[in-house]
Amino acid sequence: MLRSTFILYALWASVATAASVPKDLTACVQKAFATSDPDKRIVSPGDATYTDARLGEKIQFDEFPALIAYAKDVSEVGPLVKCALKSGYKPVPRAGGHHFLAYSALNNSLLIDLAHVNHVIVSADKKTAAVGGGIRLGALYTALDAYGATFVGGICPTVGLGGLISAGGFNMQMRALGMSADHVASAKVVLADGTTVVASLSSHPDLFWAIRGGGGATYGIVVEYTLKLSTFPRSAMLYLAWNETGNVRYDVAKRFLAWGPAQPKEFTSQVNVYKNTVSVVGWYLGGTVQELGAIVNASGLLEIGSPQVVVSGGCSTDNSRIFGYTAFECLPDDQVDASIMNVVPEPYDQFENNAQFKYEEVPKSSTRAQAWPWERFRRMTKSFFVQKSRPVTDDVVKELVDRIGQLDDASEAWGEWHAWNLSSSSTGGAFAWREQALAHLEFIVTGSEDAATAKRYEQWFTSLEGLLRPAVGPASYAGYMDDSLSVNPLIAYYGSNVCRLVGIKSKYDPSNVFTNPLSIPPRAPQGISC
Ligand SMILES: Cc1cc2nc3c(=O)[nH]c(=O)nc-3n(C[C@H](O)[C@H](O)[C@H](O)COP(=O)(O)OP(=O)(O)OC[C@H]3O[C@@H](n4cnc5c(N)ncnc54)[C@H](O)[C@@H]3O)c2cc1C
Ligand SMILES: *[C@@H]1O[C@H](CO)[C@@H](O)[C@H](O)[C@H]1NC(C)=O
Ligand SMILES: *[C@@H]1O[C@H](CO)[C@@H](O)[C@H](O)[C@H]1NC(C)=O
Ligand SMILES: *[C@@H]1O[C@H](CO)[C@@H](O)[C@H](O)[C@H]1NC(C)=O
Ligand SMILES: *[C@@H]1O[C@H](CO)[C@@H](O)[C@H](O)[C@H]1NC(C)=O
């Protein structure tokens, strides 16, 4: 098996190297980068760092961009878009590189990497910050810490702000404070002709609506967001863990799905269902140990099996953010190790023996330790929203839990299920499922290098789609793109907003310069009449 894998790699490598990069594209990018290090920021298929540079978080073998250009300044992005157009390539932006199908690294594209467009400029009143469109969440949180401020953002420190806002952005404060896209005041967007506009409630409000939940890389490239900042009160945190197989996992999952979404809006929680264990993690924003203890005692969860119970209070924001990753209790502030947030622009571990691309890898804090390299992953996933009008039945929950137990240990299969039921604090944006989502069910498997095993995992996912889709309906999360849905993907990701988004797309990018296989097109797509 190893041997055939090796041969395949050799084949891919030669395909990639054989594809010669047009000289005019390279020359054009060099000109766009003329003011600083033009040669250190361009990676082409012949370079030793190409494999590392084209991979994001997910180890993927499908997408081979023609050229990778690492922008470092907002002003470079418009000229890069023009370079792509002139040479007949698609301009494709990448922020954090977490796209589940690697659509931020498409074949035949000029990949415009924004990870170094990561400035954070906090306003004098500390209410807003102008932030580079490619910053990673951990770097954003670390930079804002210095101002005693934070942002209603997602969980994983290496996720990019650009991709997060494009999908909507769920987070552990969302039941009270809404989604990340609700906390954007304005954005600078590079359009398909290379010009830049400001999108806000008063300037291009249609575009402003679309870039907050209407999908990434579709209407333009957001080079800078002005974010509305928050200050979180000290919080109480929950961690429950059961080392038990069989019915305990099922009972916990069933109980959680009824309990989590119905709690006070300050409490956002998730259940993680593994083959042999199950755990519940929750963040009670501004809550005390007593308040959290009371809802946990009344939850019915403690009567199931014999869980390890951690109900902890007085957590600082950093402590709450690392909870479940590297901390499982609230510690005195001077003992909190938030280094996992202190990520550099290229935060990933090495893939096999490929040379790693590095360029000005400066963390936002020089006093904290730098984050450990984030592990890359052969990630296989599926996403389903459960709607308030159609809660899942106990039989379906039991079947889901059983199925997670059916895969081999190597798959590390697990379900990460979040309680939704957001309070209505939306400030608008194209995320479609805010009112209706009761819970989000994500399933994650570590893919295999072995073809037969990989095939088995794929069949498992196909069968999961067959079981769960009819039970919950079409809604899925646009941040977890999946090309094997059994329903129209545009409906799954954008619901009743599809036609409005098509209209905005046709206004700002009629010739479909920014596109990927699952993006909103400039005309009504097949199967949908607008
Ligand atoms: C470990 C992990 C944890 C996650 N946790 C959360 C979470 O807590 N909450 C949540 O909501 N989601 C979460 N996600 C999903 C994540 O938000 C999406 O996958 C998101 O699209 C990733 O953004 P990115 O910038 O890292 O990825 P990229 O691959 O860089 O971008 C994703 C898409 O957006 C486009 N894009 C990127 N930047 C821009 C820009 N500046 N302007 C226009 N288009 C752009 C890309 O072209 C691509 O199509 C998680 C994913 C992973 C792998
Ligand atoms: C991208 O190109 C590679 C190499 O030419 C090919 O193997 C792969 O299938 C292509 N990917 C897609 C999604 O078409
Ligand atoms: C949604 O949450 C509120 C409390 O925040 C609760 O009163 C309501 O019952 C919940 N709805 C559902 C469907 O769980
Ligand atoms: C929850 O139950 C535990 C164990 O019975 C008890 O010690 C604790 O005081 C209870 N907490 C609250 C807030 O009622
Ligand atoms: C579960 O197992 C892990 C690892 O063996 C152990 O550290 C933990 O304390 C156990 N938890 C419970 C609740 O038994």
Look at residues 286, 302, 335 and tell me which one is the last residue of a structural domain: 335
Using DSSP, state whether 140 is helix, strand or coil: helix
Does the beta carbon of 391 sit less than 6 angstroms from any atom of ligand 3? no
The helix-helix angle for 23-32 and 77-87 (nearest 10°) equals 170
User: DSSP label at 213?
Assistant: T
The structural domain count of the chain equals 2
Query: Do 295 and 263 meet the contact criterion of CB atoms below 8 Å apart?
Result: yes
Does the beta carbon of 309 sit less than 6 angstroms from any atom of ligand 5? no
Does the beta carbon of 13 sit less than 6 angstroms from any atom of ligand 5? no
Look at residues 82, 113, 144 and tell me which one is the last residue of a structural domain: 113
Least confident span in 9-23, 52-66, 329-343: 9-23
Answer yes or no: is 386 within a domain. Answer: no
For residue 246, the model assigns a pLDDT of 82
Does the beta carbon of 302 sit less than 6 angstroms from any atom of ligand 4? no
| Conformational region of residue 246, where left means phi above 0, alpha means psi within -120 to 50, and beta covers everything else | left
Instruction: Give Rg (Cα) of the chain.
Output: 23
Q: Read off the pLDDT of each residue in 310-332 and give the average, rounded to a whole number.
A: 95
For residue 21, the model assigns a pLDDT of 73
Pocket test for ligand 3, best of 299, 421, 422, 436 (most atoms within 8 A of CB): 421
Tell me, in angstroms, the distance from the centre of ligand 2 to residue 152's CA. 37
User: Across the strands, what pairs with 280?
Assistant: 240, 271
Does the beta carbon of 276 sit less than 6 angstroms from any atom of ligand 5? no
Answer yes or no: is 29 within a domain. Answer: yes
Task: Take residue 444 and report the two structure tokens written for it.
Answer: 């994650």
Contact residues for 235 (Cβ-Cβ < 8 A; gap 6+): 283, 284, 285, 286, 287, 313, 315, 317, 320
- Of the listed ligands, the closest to the CA of 264 is 3
Tell me, in angstroms, the distance from the centre of ligand 2 to residue 54's CA. 13
Look at residues 309, 335, 361 and tell me which one is the last residue of a structural domain: 335
Each residue's pLDDT tens digit, 82-97: 999 999 999 999 999 9
| Conformational region of residue 215, where left means phi above 0, alpha means psi within -120 to 50, and beta covers everything else | left
- Of the listed ligands, the closest to the CA of 161 is 1
For residue 7, the model assigns a pLDDT of 33
Question: For residue 72, which amino acid is it?
Answer: K
Does the beta carbon of 261 sit less than 6 angstroms from any atom of ligand 3? yes
Atom 5 (ligand 2): residue with closest C-alpha? Answer: 15
Answer yes or no: is 74 within a domain. Answer: yes
Closest by Cα among 471, 272, 464 to 382: 464
Q: Which residue has the higher pLDDT, 333 or 13?
A: 333
Closest by Cα among 250, 288, 285, 298 to 271: 250
Atom 9 (ligand 3): residue with closest C-alpha? Answer: 262
- pLDDT at 387 > cutoff 60: yes
Each residue's pLDDT tens digit, 238-288: 999 999 888 999 999 999 999 999 999 999 999 999 999 999 999 999 999
Tell me, in angstroms, the distance from the centre of ligand 1 to residue 85's CA. 24
| pTM as predicted | 0.95
Residue whose structure tokens are 């039989």 = 395
Query: Do 174 and 422 meet the contact criterion of CB atoms below 8 Å apart?
Result: yes
Tell me, in angstroms, the distance from the centre of ligand 2 to residue 66's CA. 12
Atom 1 (ligand 4): residue with closest C-alpha? Answer: 297
Contact residues for 530 (Cβ-Cβ < 8 A; gap 6+): 498, 499, 502, 503, 524
pLDDT category of residue 505 using cuts at 50, 70 and 90: very high
Does the beta carbon of 305 sit less than 6 angstroms from any atom of ligand 5? no
Q: Read off the pLDDT of each residue in 423-429 and give the average, rounded to a whole number.
A: 82
β 267-273/109-113 pair status:
unpaired
For residue 20, the model assigns a pLDDT of 66
Answer yes or no: is 368 within a domain. Answer: no
Answer yes or no: is 522 within a domain. Answer: no
Answer yes or no: is 190 within a domain. Answer: no
Q: Read off the pLDDT of each residue in 409-427 and give the average, rounded to a whole number.
A: 92
Task: Take residue 326 and report the two structure tokens written for it.
Answer: 């590297």
- Of the listed ligands, the closest to the CA of 102 is 1
Answer yes or no: is 283 within a domain. Answer: yes
Range of the domain at 34: 3-113
Tell me, in angstroms, the distance from the centre of ligand 5 to residue 243's CA. 6
Tell me, in angstroms, the distance from the centre of ligand 4 to residue 23's CA. 70
**Which string of DSSP letters, residue by residue, matches 279-335?**
EEEEEETT--HHHHHHHHHTSSGGGSS--EEEEEEEE-HHHHHHBTTTBSS---GGG
Does the beta carbon of 82 sit less than 6 angstroms from any atom of ligand 3? no
Answer yes or no: is 306 within a domain. Answer: yes
The CATH number of whichever domain residue 289 belongs to comes to 3.30.70.1710
Tell me, in angstroms, the distance from the centre of ligand 5 to residue 277's CA. 9
Does the beta carbon of 15 sit less than 6 angstroms from any atom of ligand 2? yes
Taking the CA of residue 414 as centre, how many other CA atoms within 13 Å lie in the half-sphere pointing to its CB? 17
What dihedral do alpha carbons 518, 523, 529, 530 form, nearest 10°?
110
The CATH number of whichever domain residue 15 belongs to comes to 3.30.465.10
- Of the listed ligands, the closest to the CA of 298 is 4
Does the beta carbon of 1 sit less than 6 angstroms from any atom of ligand 3? no
Query: Do 362 and 72 meet the contact criterion of CB atoms below 8 Å apart?
Result: no
Give the position, in ligand 1's atom list, of the atom nearest the Cα of 58: 53
